[in-house]
Amino acid sequence: MSSQPDLDQLQRRIGYQFRSPERLLLALTHRSYGNQNNERLEFLGDSIVNMVIAEYLFLHFEKAREGQLSRLRARMVKGVTLAEIGREFELGNYLRLGSGELKSGGFRRESILADAVESIIGAIYLDSDFLTCREQVLRWFEHRLESLDLQDTQKDPKTRLQEYLQSRQFPLPRYEVISVDGEAHNQTFHVSCALPSLDRKTTGTGSSRRVAEQKAARNALKELGVENQ
C-alpha cells in the first residue's frame, strides 16, 4: 500500500532475495499506478505456476485421470488460492496502486492480490532460473498441495447443477445478489438461485459472491433430489 514499500521485509516473507530488487518493485505495481506495471510479469507468472503445479500433480497422483488432474490444478491456481497466499505475505501493504484503487481498497481486492502473486513468480523467474522459481512456488503451495486428495476432484456445485439441467434440456439457473452486508474488507453476500423447474428460489451465503452462488447451487441440487440433504 505504501508508495515506497520495505522490500527487504517482503523478501524475507516470501523467502527470496532479489538480485535486482527493481523486478520485485515492478511486480508490485498495479496498472492503475502507471504505464510501467506488472501485467507482463503476471502473464509470465501465470504460465509458470500452472506448469509447476501441473508437474507436481502429474508426479504425485499417478493414477489420476486427466480430468481429475485438471480440476486439482484449477483448485490450486485459482484466484482465491493465490489471493490467500498474497494475504499470508501481507502483500497488500506493499502494492503500488493509483489513488483511485487506494481509495476503493484495492490493496484488499482478491484479483489484485492474486495478480501480484503471479507477477512476483514471474519476477523471480527472470531474476534467477526455472529451478529456483519452481522451488519457491512449491514452497508457497506446500501445505495446500500436501492436503490434496483425489476426492477433491469432484466438480463444484454450480458445474454439477448446470450439467444436470443441460442433460435434461432445462433452462440454466439465474443467480442474483440479494444483499451484501458488512464493511468492504469483511463482506457477506446473500445470493439466490432461480430454477424454472422449482417453484421457489434457493439461497446461499458466503464471504464472496462466488462462494454464495456455490452454496445456492448446492441447495438447488438438494431441492431437486439430485444430492442428499
What angle in degrees, to the nearest 10, is found between the helix axes of 39-60 and 66-77?
A: 140
Distance CA 39, CA 31 (A): 7
Catalytic status, residue 46: yes
Annotated binding residue 88: no
Which residue from 95, 93, 97 is spatially nearest to 34, judged by alpha carbons? Answer: 97
Q: Given 39, 110, 118, 149, which residue is catalytic?
A: 118
Annotated binding residue 118: yes
Catalytic status, residue 118: yes
Distance CA 216, CA 175 (A): 8
Let me know if 112 is exposed, middle or buried by CB neighbors in 10 A (0-12, 13-18, 19+): buried
Q: Given 8, 22, 46, 62, which residue is catalytic?
A: 46
Distance CA 203, CA 194 (A): 9
Binding residue ranges: 42, 115, 118
The residues carrying an active-site annotation are 46, 118
Binding residue ranges for Mg(2+): 42, 115, 118
